[in-house]
Amino acid sequence: MAAIAWDRIEERHDRGAERASLELVAGPPSHRQPTASVYRRRRLVALVVGLALLAAAVQLVSGALFSSASAGASAPAGPTVVTAEAGDSYWSLAAEVSPGGDLRSTVDALVDANGGGDLHVGDRIVLPE
């Protein structure tokens, strides 16, 4: 643990009168011109920073272009179709298509997309997107 010991107030005031006050002294203005090597270093740093910014911009643009092009290529060309198997119903297919939540709207979309008839083994069922 550290402690600070203070002199008595009277002693501090007495000592303060003995010291000279501090003054701010301005130095002479600098008239030195930077040398040629300083200019070269500054230009080199500016060039490196500019190239780094250019490389970052190219990376961002190319990443955006390639990600949008690959996203379009991976999208399915048509609707998803499954073949009904034994034990399948519109409810079981709706649970596979959109798990969790209320399935009634998904069942209605399946029924509407497939003509509303009963399911039989081997029927091709179009799944809504």
All residues at 6 or more sequence positions from 127 whose CB lies less than 8 Å from its CB, including other chains: 79, 80, 81, 82, 93, 97, 110, 113
Q: Which pTM does this prediction carry?
A: 0.39
How large is the average pLDDT for residues 60-69? Answer: 76
Please, are residues 126 and 114 in contact by the beta-carbon 8 Å criterion?
Answer: yes
pLDDT of residue 111: 86
Given pLDDT bands bounded at 50, 70 and 90, which one contains residue 42? very high
b/e 36-52 (16+ beta carbons within 10 angstroms → b):
eeeeeeeeeeeeeeeee
Q: Residue 37 is encoded by which pair of tokens? A: 């090597």
Classify domain 80-127 at the CATH topology level: Membrane-bound Lytic Murein Transglycosylase D; Chain A (3.10.350)
Average pLDDT over residues 98-113: 82
Q: Is the pLDDT of residue 112 over 70?
A: yes
